[in-house]
Structure 1
């Protein structure tokens, strides 16, 4: 019970914070260790290596986010069964989830290893960093199964409010990652290959830990290897939620790939500055996204318990919380932007390029958090197609239109103007999602009263 939060009873805000804070700390640790990758490779392997690692992020996200979306489906289904008190179905969900993670990881390895270079070429990756980017991706995707298994396992733990043990796992895995970085990159001069191998080995450790935790659970979350199989009913229920969430993640990543392609056209220095800025922004994003994850689990449990009024209270609490976090952290990071960018590179041109991006993103980042919380609430009540459609139109569609119209005008064809597509798409998408949530909750309440 100490690793479980009952979100169907009690005050909303304290439990949302209790859920979010360990998740924020976990994500910050993960980003710190990821930042250590970038700092080490930037300082000891040069700006081309820094650009090579950074330029792969949008492609990695495109392929990985689909399976992370399936993990969202596992989280929602498990939390629904937990809220409804259906223990047998919950245990079947645990085993189905792990099988899905293993299958998804193998598929990602196949796609990533075989097609990374071709996709990077299509994205217009600078020629001077293409060989390094390709090498990094092939090693990274060679061990991607461990990353998928960890994320799916952590999603199961989050479905019952357990965000502390994933924090401990990431702390240990991160220390391993940093130590291996120092050994591989500095001592053995392995460059981007060293960073990739360090990441893979640390993720294997994290996957092992989360599986071990599930095998030692004493309740319906207990994993028994002999029982590993897919339950067809639960599998399709997971797909109903997870597939649209996965496609939504892919759509976001696809639009980001187009933006990355536009960034690539300005050369390696701008790519390096953009990579460093993205790393800094990540600390703000994960702090906001932790409230979105809490919203997802909270809404799912209460949907299973048929406590619809608590869901409405939740979304108001979550939106106010995420707005405050986004405004405070975003503007603090912007104020100290040059000093933070200086950690990644001592090249003044790279730092200036990073500041051009930070000036646009960080001042408006809270709108991204508001959008994510609203989308999570909708998925938590069992409607995953709606956020996907709204995202397709409001976020991805607007970014693509922006890049192929406004950005093509010579006066606005600058490095910084690329990033104005983000706050525009976040704001419009949030408004559409809000209208969708109100409509869905009215229908749910009407159906409940009719029943």
Structure 2
């Protein structure tokens, strides 16, 4: 029988570490989707096909980031009610979140699918890769409901303190995705679209299996007919928390789209280098995101249990783990950046290898700033102040837009490399005082 787990008692560091490990493995598997897609496309279909996949990366992050943010937000009231041991209201939140997800995901899929071509034109996608980018983007958008439901179900299970169950379904999905990638591209000859089809189908299967397992094995989630009725008050609470989290990702992605658009104008070689480097960077960023997700559940449960002092303990423990990981990653990428890039392109592509290596060296140097961003942002979200977290996304967007409009035209690709680090600095300048404000506020609330 699957079990839930409270994180309102015991030492913060081992609790967060043990909860983070399955999350980390899951995030690494999700990034394996991207790595496998890009590696197979780049090796078997060529540089133009790789650039086609990369040209739509930021747009995909815009839409899927909104979905994932909403899902994470929907899980916060569940975690808070679980921490407060109000299981009836918790189950009602779960039921309403599934109903909202059904409507939102279908609407997003329809609207974004219609707008695919216009979006790519606005991003100044080169003509020689436009068709491949269009089909990759279209298939991904059609599959939005699959992504939405998988992430929502995972968020609900994590809210109960179980980060292992979502990992096993993601492992299954990853293996299926790799097999389907090879089948669709090498056997069926579906090209770039085949990579997208493989990813969407594998996520859909994983979402269905996850739902069946969750309802059968988690007794605490089994609802009565009365608990499954739509409740507008609970829906407003979920939207109030979830939508700002989704918008935070989308707002951040708007800046990324601007940056990618500026990079697209530099030519196919820069697009290919950016694509390969981003895949590698996202892979090594996983632990920061995982720590942040763990802190969202940890802070949500302790906030619901009326134990705000434990939240600061969690932040310090997470920061220590983050610094240790960064030291390891810095050494690996400074030495092996070019070797990792060879997974995507041939050794003869000297310019692409050099540009990707430069991007990774600059990015990894600023990883501690990114790690602090993830810890503080998710902690703020976990206690329900999602509007503040969204404003940190605005800070990131402003930084990327300034780099795109002013620095890239003047300095070229080197400015693209500094786009993300500059955005992380802008976000932290907002998040540090925001966290101090939130923490003081919840301490006062608890005393009253």
TM range (shorter): over 0.9
Aligned residue among 377, 380, 401 for 1:378: 380
Name the structure 2 match of 1:401. Answer: 402
Instruction: State the TM-score, normalizing by the size of structure 1.
Output: 0.95
Is the 2:33–2:199 contact (alpha carbons within 8 Å) kept by the matching residues of 1? Answer: no
The superposition leaves residues 368-416 of structure 1 with CA deviations (integer Å, 9 ceiling, x where unpaired) of 1211110111111111111222331x3211222233234443xxx2212
* Deviation, structure 1 residue 334: 3.2
Alignment of 1:63-74 (within 5 A): 63-74=63-74
* Deviation, structure 1 residue 277: 0.7
Partners of 2:303 and 2:107 lie apart in 1 by 33
* Deviation, structure 1 residue 46: 1.1
Partners of 2:240 and 2:401 lie apart in 1 by 27
Partners of 1:133 and 1:421 lie apart in 2 by 23
Partners of 1:215 and 1:64 lie apart in 2 by 25
Name the structure 2 match of 1:441. Answer: 439
**359-368 or 258-267, which deviates more:** 359-368
Name the structure 2 match of 1:179. Answer: 179
Distance 1:402 1:38, change over 3 A: closer
Aligned: 1:46 with 2:46: yes
Distance 1:406 1:179, change over 3 A: closer
* Deviation, structure 1 residue 71: 1.0
Name the structure 1 match of 2:129. Answer: 129
Q: Which runs of 5+ in 1 are unaligned?
A: none
Name the structure 1 match of 2:117. Answer: 117
The superposition leaves residues 271-315 of structure 1 with CA deviations (integer Å, 9 ceiling, x where unpaired) of 111111111111111111100001100000000000011011111
Is the 1:70–1:246 contact (alpha carbons within 8 Å) kept by the matching residues of 2? Answer: yes
Q: CA RMSD in A?
A: 1.7
Equivalent residues, number: 446
**27-36 or 80-89, which deviates more:** 27-36
Name the structure 2 match of 1:333. Answer: 333
The superposition leaves residues 309-344 of structure 1 with CA deviations (integer Å, 9 ceiling, x where unpaired) of 101111111122223223322441232011110011
Partners of 1:364 and 1:223 lie apart in 2 by 46
Is the 2:3–2:218 contact (alpha carbons within 8 Å) kept by the matching residues of 1? Answer: no
**327-336 or 223-232, which deviates more:** 223-232
Distance 1:444 1:100, change over 3 A: same
Alignment of 1:237-248 (within 5 A): 237-248=237-248
Is the 1:78–1:90 contact (alpha carbons within 8 Å) kept by the matching residues of 2? Answer: yes
Partners of 1:188 and 1:382 lie apart in 2 by 47
Aligned residue among 353, 366, 369 for 1:364: 366
Instruction: State the TM-score, normalizing by the size of structure 2.
Output: 0.95
* Deviation, structure 1 residue 35: 1.0
Partners of 1:153 and 1:280 lie apart in 2 by 27
Secondary structure at the residue paired with 1:9? coil
Name the structure 2 match of 1:101. Answer: 101
Partners of 2:250 and 2:330 lie apart in 1 by 25
* Deviation, structure 1 residue 247: 1.2
Partners of 2:333 and 2:100 lie apart in 1 by 38
* Deviation, structure 1 residue 34: 2.4
Is the 1:82–1:301 contact (alpha carbons within 8 Å) kept by the matching residues of 2? Answer: yes
Name the structure 2 match of 1:324. Answer: 324
